[in-house]
């Protein structure tokens, strides 16, 4: 039987379309997955949609099952939850997460999918890739009991980090964002909230995820002496200026990067699969539903992506729903 599917492609910067695709016949050790939900990670995917990936980063920014090349045509995405329609007996009929783009059906090696725990609804499991980024960031940041922590930038990644930090004993966690409406999200996640001008200082650790020059500068201002900013933002092709004069050296401040493409060196015995499994287990917490701020049908993606890129849809994670007949 010949299998087919439909996929969302970015034809050129700022313009996308849905294409019919022919699927390969699943081989031994492969799975055929029918997508239930996918997620648009607004920061990274709208940057790709706008054509903002620098040429020097085209290789580093490739998604695991990307087709085409930046700036386009390209099929891009990495938050996909579906059900295995054909494959090994241990996976057949299971709900799985895969780092696959927005496509109705697809064939991948069985090793590329991770079963979603029974405690995690498929609708919430689209967050797994972003929560995995947060897990890696906190492995890098190594927060301690009783730390004073700010998360600057209340987007999808920043909110995921804040949600995990809320579980640490004795910490003061404050989500900092210029948008006052993020206060409701912070409350749902169990952390404090402040605008940049009102944020609490003397932080031992600041996690920066606003992808703005102003946010990174403010992150440095919020640190106590010897404090560290963990930088999670991806700036694409934009240049960033920083105030590294003034008290930067006398207070012995530090900035370090964290990126999900490599498992944190702080956990040398963990694999990518281990890290993703941790993220999926953490998604049993219904508080994380606050990170899904909108939903639309797969058919609407050519109109939804421009609206997300322009800010007309002010999403954290925008969930994409697939028709069962696809």
> Where residue 183 sits, what CATH number does that domain have?
3.40.50.720
In the listed set 242, 257, 272, which residue is the last one of a domain according to the structure? Answer: 257
Tens place of pLDDT for every residue, the chain, 326 residues?
578 999 999 999 999 999 999 999 999 999 999 999 999 988 789 989 999 898 988 998 899 999 999 999 999 999 999 999 999 999 999 999 999 999 999 999 999 999 999 999 999 999 999 999 999 999 999 999 999 999 999 999 999 999 999 999 999 999 999 999 999 999 999 999 999 999 999 999 999 999 899 999 999 999 999 999 999 997 777 788 888 888 899 999 999 999 888 999 999 999 999 999 999 999 999 999 999 999 999 999 999 999 999 989 888 899 999 997 66
Alpha-carbon gap, residue 311 to 46, rounded angstroms: 10
- 122 and 135 inside one domain: no
H/E stretch holding 174 reads: strand 172-176
Is 308 among the domain residues?
yes
Return the closest-CA partner of residue 43 out of 114, 151, 133.
133
> Using CB atoms within 10 A of its CB, is residue 97 exposed (0-12), middle (13-18) or buried (19+)?
buried
Return the closest-CA partner of residue 228 out of 258, 243, 206.
206
- 42 and 158 inside one domain: no
- 111 and 206 inside one domain: no
- 40 and 83 inside one domain: yes
**pLDDT at position 94, please?**
98
- Asked whether 42 and 155 are in contact (CB, 8 A), the reply is yes
Structural domain count of the chain: 2
Q: For residue 235, what are the domain limits?
A: 130-257
Q: Name the one residue in this structure whose structure tokens are 């050296």.
A: 249
H/E stretch holding 281 reads: helix 272-282
| pTM (predicted TM-score) | 0.89
- 117 and 169 inside one domain: no
Q: How many CB atoms lie within 10 A of CB 181?
A: 9
Is 267 among the domain residues?
no
Return the DSSP state at 26.
P
Is 27 among the domain residues?
yes
- Asked whether 49 and 10 are in contact (CB, 8 A), the reply is yes
Q: What is the CATH number of the domain that holds 27?
A: 3.90.180.10
- Asked whether 240 and 220 are in contact (CB, 8 A), the reply is no
Return the structure tokens found at 197. Answer: 């001008």
């Amino acid at each position: 039987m010949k299998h087919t599917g439909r996929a969302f492609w970015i034809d050129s910067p700022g313009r996308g379309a849905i294409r019919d695709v022919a699927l390969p016949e699943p081989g031994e050790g492969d799975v055929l997955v029918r997508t239930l939900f996918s997620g648009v990670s607004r920061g990274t995917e709208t940057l790709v949609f706008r054509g903002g990936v620098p040429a020097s980063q085209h290789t580093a920014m490739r998604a695991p099952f990307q087709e085409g090349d930046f700036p386009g045509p390209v099929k891009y995405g990495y938050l996909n939850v579906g059900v295995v329609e054909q494959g090994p007996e241990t996976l057949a009929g299971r709900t799985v997460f895969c780092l696959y783009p927005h496509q109705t059906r697809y064939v991948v090696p069985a090793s590329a999918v991770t079963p979603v725990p029974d405690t995690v609804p498929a609708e919430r499991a689209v967050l797994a890739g972003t929560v995995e980024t947060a897990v890696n960031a906190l492995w890098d940041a190594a927060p301690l009991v009783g730390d004073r922590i700010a998360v600057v930038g209340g987007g999808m990644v920043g909110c995921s980090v804040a949600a995990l930090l809320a579980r640490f004993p004795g910490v003061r966690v404050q989500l900092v964002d210029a948008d006052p409406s993020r206060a409701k999200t912070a409350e749902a996640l169990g952390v404090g909230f402040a605008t940049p001008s009102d944020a609490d200082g003397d932080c031992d650790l600041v996690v920066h995820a606003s992808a703005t020059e102003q946010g990174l500068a403010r992150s440095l201002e919020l640190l106590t002496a010897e404090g560290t900013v963990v930088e999670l933002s991806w700036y694409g092709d934009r240049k960033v200026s920083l105030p590294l004069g003034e008290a930067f050296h006398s207070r012995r401040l530090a900035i370090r990067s964290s990126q999900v493409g490599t498992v944190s060196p702080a956990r040398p015995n963990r694999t990518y699969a281990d890290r993703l499994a941790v993220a999926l287990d953490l998604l049993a917490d219904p508080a994380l539903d606050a990170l899904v701020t909108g939903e639309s049908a797969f058919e609407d993606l050519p109109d939804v992506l421009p609206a997300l890129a322009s800010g007309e849809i002010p999403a954290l994670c925008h969930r994409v729903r697939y028709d069962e007949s696809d």
